[in-house]
Amino acid sequence: MKNNVIHKTTAWSQQLLRWLPVLFLVLAAQTALAQTKEVTGVVSDAFGPVIGASVLEKGTTNGVITDLDGNFKLTVSSDNAVLQVSYVGYSTQEIATKGKKSFRIRLKEDAEMLQEVVVVGYGAQKKESVVGAISQISTKELLQSPSANVSQAIAGKIPGVITAQTSGAPGADDTQIFIRGRATFAGDGQPLILVDGVERSFSQIAPDDIESISVLKDASATAVYGVRGANGVMLITTKRGKEQKPTVSLTANWQIQTPTREDTYLNSYESVKLLEEALANDGLPSQYSAQDIEMFRKSVNGELS
């Protein structure tokens, strides 16, 4: 009798051990289901819903993208989950759910992500979708140059852009700009320069006022401008106001220009004397009479009344 009881107890224990893993999995699944929850929301910017924005649960690969109306629906792992919302050209936002189930998220433009968006003729495109030869530089790179002249500040910073300064005189320090060398024989070979869509010079624009400079180099990029784009096109986009607290910035610079060398020139009397000497050495007749040479001397010495 005692052995029979022991045998039954052992059999029951074996069955219990066999079903314990299954029971543990069921309880774990119920616990996980109790922790997860579904959150919904809409993502927009200053102009309306954002299509294709990424909504990701931070620290996981669990995420979705917004639909045509900017809506999303995501099942997160806990009430304390954090949502990461991102889109090209906008600052990534992190939103703590804190038990909430519905969210309205507004994205703000990110100037530091300009390299992912390229300004092209009559609009802007994602950099990855542009097939033309386009280079872009932002205001951060421009401000690294000590020059207050934008045409000088871009020197050596944009591939394929050649700058040449032929004068250092104050007020005459504009540089000549060539994109991939001189493309045409007619005219001065300068590219078409558009500031916010308007043709004008940009050399006197403060670098702080510029958001970005796009350089369109090849035919596919400049086709919308026709023959005006034969020498390339430079598109300058200035800064816009942003939805934030007012800020005031001050930039001051000064410079001193001095000649590295001052040449000594002959006056008119000395020039005539040397010319006459050269003609005599070559056996050629004089071009000035003795009276003319004397008048040059008196003019230089201030003896003429």
pLDDT at 104: 92
Q: What is the pLDDT of residue 173?
A: 67
- Cβ-in-10-Å burial (0-12, 13-18, 19+) of 124 comes to middle
pLDDT at 25: 60
Give the separation between CA 156 and CA 139, rounded to whole angstroms.
Answer: 15
Q: List all residues 6 or more positions away from 184 whose beta carbon is below 8 Å from its beta carbon.
A: 230, 231
Biggest alpha carbon–alpha carbon distance for the chain: 158
Task: Dig out the tokens for 103 from the structure.
Answer: 């969210």
Q: Is the dihedral of CA 78, 84, 85, 91 positive or negative?
A: positive
Q: How buried is residue 265: exposed, middle or buried, by Cβ count under 10 Å (0-12/13-18/19+)?
A: exposed
**Partners of 183 in the β-ladder:** none
**Distances from the Cα of 12 to the Cα of 21, 25, 26, 295, angstroms:** 16, 21, 21, 137
Which single residue is written with the structure tokens 């995501």? Answer: 74
Pair type for strands 233-238 and 161-164: unpaired
C-alpha 21 chain-centroid distance: 58
Q: How far is CA 136 from the centre of its chain?
A: 5
pLDDT (0 to 100) of residue 32: 47
> E-strand spans in the chain?
37-45, 48-49, 54-57, 63-65, 71-76, 82-86, 93-96, 102-106, 117-120, 123-126, 134-138, 161-164, 176-179, 192-195, 198-199, 210-216, 233-238
Query: Which residues in the chain land under pLDDT 50?
Result: 2-3, 5-6, 29, 31-34, 128-129
Tell me how far CA of residue 131 lies from CA of 62, 180, 190, 194, in angstroms: 33, 18, 24, 21
3-state secondary structure of 103: strand
Burial code (b: 16+ CB inside 10 Å, e: under 16) for 217-255 equals bbeebbeebeeebbbbbbbbbeeeeeeeeeeeeeeeeee
Query: Between 290-301 and 268-281, two packed helices, what is the crossing angle to 10 degrees?
Result: 150
CB 155 within 8 A of CB 174: no
Could you give the CA distance from residue 86 to residue 302 in angstroms, rounded to a whole number?
Answer: 80
Q: Phi first, then psi: what are they for 132, rounded to 5°?
A: -80, 165
- The pLDDT of residue 281 is 92
Q: What is the radius of gyration, based on Cα positions, of the chain?
A: 38
Q: Which two tokens stand for residue 122?
A: 């009559």
